[in-house]
Amino acid sequence: MRRETQHAVLFLLGAALVRIAADDTFLRYVRPAQRWWLIGAGVVMVVLAVVATVRDLRGRDVHAADGHEHRTGPSPWLLVLPVMVIALVAPPALGADAIARHTPTPTAVIADVPRLPPGPAELGVAEAVARSIDGSLGDGRDLTVTGFLAHRGGEIVVARMTIACCAADARPYTLRVSGPEVAELPVDTWVRVRGTVVAQAAKDNRWSPALEVTDLTVIPAPDDPYEY
């Protein structure tokens, strides 16, 4: 690959990192805390590409001449593919397809957290699942959760993905829901659901307790779709 091409690829990759960090697209792939690392890495790559290009144009680079031209294959151009994907068709955050492909596993119980006071509660999906398993949620509690609709094992669920670092380690948490409102909506629809926790649901199905829906509101997809 020619030096000019190397500089161009480096510049494009750096610019892509800055771009996705600047407009919150990066939240589809990594935690919010990674924003400044992405911006820093992108700026460094852009600066290096610009400096190297200017040095080449001014003829300050010294190259060892060995009497023949070095050629490389087209593989370095594959580095440009992520830039094209982000610019043209930025991949969405993980959604209903990831839920359908994931094999349910027992959910870890939350430790050392205060019990919820009596009455209605609004929780993240992952916390609701864990509290239902360890019994701290309470049978028959009025619960509100926010997530996207998906199908799992022939049932409709409200789901959220949790990530520790990035989408590669994402893990789904789901609550089974029932009612005519949810049955009419397509998968990946974001909703705010209020309902009653079904007794014994966590014991019967450790990875997905059930919620009898009493109220459902369709909402826009949030900028940050994951839980942490």
Contacts of 70 (CB under 8 A, 6+ apart): none
Domain edge (last residue) among 62, 88, 114? 88
Give, in order, the Cα–Cα distances in Å from 198 to each of 106, 133, 142, 175, 213: 18, 12, 10, 10, 10
Same domain for 12 and 111, yes or no, is no
Domain of residue 160, residue span: 96-218
Q: Which two structure tokens, joined as six digits, stand for 133?
A: 């398993």
Same domain for 109 and 73, yes or no, is no
Helices (H) and strands (E) in the chain, counts: 7, 6
CATH number for 111: 2.40.50.200
Same domain for 107 and 196, yes or no, is yes
Tens digit of pLDDT at every position of the chain (228 positions)? 577 777 888 888 888 888 888 888 888 888 888 899 999 999 999 999 898 888 887 875 445 444 555 555 556 667 677 667 666 666 788 888 888 877 666 555 555 667 788 889 999 999 888 888 777 787 788 999 999 999 987 889 999 999 988 888 888 999 999 878 888 899 999 999 999 988 777 777 667 888 999 999 999 999 899 998
Reported residue count of the chain is 228
Calpha distance 175→40 (Å, rounded): 39
Same domain for 83 and 108, yes or no, is no
Same domain for 79 and 175, yes or no, is no
Contacts of 95 (CB under 8 A, 6+ apart): 148, 150, 187, 188, 225
Calpha distance 147→161 (Å, rounded): 9
Question: What is the count of structural domains for the chain?
Answer: 2
Same domain for 114 and 81, yes or no, is no
Of 32, 38, 48, 49, residue with least CA distance to 16 = 38
Contacts of 154 (CB under 8 A, 6+ apart): none
For residue 168, count CB atoms less than 10 angstroms from its CB and return exposed for 0-12, middle for 13-18, buried for 19 or more: exposed
Residue 113, pLDDT score: 66
Same domain for 161 and 191, yes or no, is yes
Domain edge (last residue) among 88, 123, 141? 88
Domain edge (last residue) among 25, 59, 88? 88
Same domain for 156 and 192, yes or no, is yes
Same domain for 102 and 190, yes or no, is yes
In the chain the first and final C-alpha atoms are separated, in Å, by: 42
* Residue found under tokens 């009455």: 119
| 111 within a domain of the structure (yes/no) | yes
Report the amino acid identity of residue 70: H
What global pTM score does this model have?
0.76
Calpha distance 16→3 (Å, rounded): 20
Same domain for 35 and 141, yes or no, is no
| 227 within a domain of the structure (yes/no) | no
| Residues 163 and 170: beta-carbon distance below 8 Å | yes
Residue 40, pLDDT score: 93
Same domain for 187 and 147, yes or no, is yes
| Residues 174 and 193: beta-carbon distance below 8 Å | no
Angle at 116 between CA 110 and CA 121, to 5 degrees: 105
